[in-house]
C-alpha cells in the first residue's frame, strides 16, 4: 500500500470495525508493512494479530482482517489503493 493516507484509512477501519485500535508507534510499524498486493494480506493479518497480542492462528479474526484489508486492494495491477 503505497499511500500512507490510504494506510491510515485502513487502520482506522480496523479500529472501528474490529476494535484493533493501535497507538502511534504500532500504527507506524503497520504502515511500514502494508501489503503491496493480495499475496501479502495474510502476512499483514498476522502482524495485526501479533501487535494486538493475539495468536495468529485465530482464523475468525484473521478472516475479518483479511476482508477489511482486501477492500483496499482495488488496483487491477495488484497494487493497493482506495
Cα(75)–Cα(25) distance, rounded to whole angstroms?
28
In a domain, 60, yes or no: yes
Whole domain around residue 37: which residue ranges? 4-70
Residue 1's pLDDT is 55
In a domain, 51, yes or no: yes
In a domain, 38, yes or no: yes
Of 14, 4, 2, 13, which Cα lies nearest the Cα of 40? 2
In a domain, 75, yes or no: no
Residue 59's pLDDT is 94
Instruction: Count structural domains, the chain.
Output: 1
> Which regions of the chain are under pLDDT 50?
75-82
In a domain, 80, yes or no: no
Q: How far is CA 45 from CA 40, 60, 79, in A?
A: 9, 11, 17
In a domain, 15, yes or no: yes
In a domain, 77, yes or no: no
In a domain, 66, yes or no: yes
Alpha helix (H) residue ranges in the chain: 4-18, 24-31, 41-51, 59-70
Residue 74's pLDDT is 55
Amino acid at each position: 500500500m503505497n499511500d500512507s493516507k490510504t494506510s491510515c484509512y485502513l487502520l482506522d477501519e480496523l479500529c472501528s470495525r474490529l476494535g484493533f485500535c493501535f497507538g502511534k508507534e504500532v500504527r507506524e510499524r503497520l504502515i511500514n508493512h502494508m501489503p503491496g498486493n493480495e499475496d501479502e494480506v495474510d502476512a499483514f493479518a498476522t502482524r495485526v494479530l501479533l501487535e494486538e497480542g493475539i495468536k495468529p492462528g485465530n482464523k475468525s479474526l484473521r478472516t475479518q482482517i483479511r476482508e477489511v484489508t482486501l477492500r483496499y486492494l482495488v488496483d487491477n495491477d495488484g497494487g493497493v489503493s482506495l
